[in-house]
Amino acid sequence: MSPSPVSSTPILRTVLVWSGSVTAILAVIGAVIGYLVAGTDGLWSALAGVLVAAVFLGITAASILIANRWYGNELYVPVFFGIVMGGWILKFVVFIVILFVLRGQPWIEPTVFFLALVASVLASLAIDVVVMLRMRVPHVSDVQLPTDPEAGDRRDGEADAH
């Protein structure tokens, strides 16, 4: 497969790779701390919090990467927004379902779950910032300028004078 000409693709791939690594680290740390604080229930609560955050934060990046595959197609814009908005709607529905399912579970320690969720979201935001700061993307990207000045769209009346 040829590399995508969309400048956001390498950024989003890097974010997903780093997020996967940090999620694994947070899962181990959260499980240990959760177990020490609240026993087995704390362990499972921390793992659930980290997993929920990872899934939700990964859906957006993954949906944009999937949508970028249509770059260059005449239907790119509607397909892109359809896939991304579909991902957001999916996240909303899944979030509501997860809240209803986990709300009454006896093995959920709410404080541990909440802190693991917040720690995962903050880690994801930090990853996004670091990746964006380290990537070298020009201010004007995904645009090709004409190489011949005469090939461009002339609006100053010179083209009509010839």
Give the pLDDT confidence of 52-80 residue by residue, as tens digits: 999 888 888 889 889 988 888 888 899 99
Q: Looking at 38-88, which runs of residues are DSSP E strands?
A: none
Residue 143 lies in a domain: no
**Contacts for 113 with CB less than 8 Å, ≥ 6 apart:** 45, 46, 48, 49, 102
Flag whether 51 is in a domain: yes
Band of residue 8 on the pLDDT scale cut at 50, 70, 90: confident
Per-residue pLDDT tens over the stretch 130-142? 887 877 766 665 5
**Domains: count for the chain:** 1
Residue 38 has pLDDT above 90, yes or no: yes
Indicate whether 91 belongs to any domain.
Answer: yes
Residue 147 counted as domain residue? no
127 within some domain: yes
| Whether residue 40 has pLDDT greater than 90 | yes
pTM for the predicted model, two decimal places:
0.73
Task: Quote the domain boundaries for residue 118.
Answer: 8-132
Does 151 reside within a domain? no
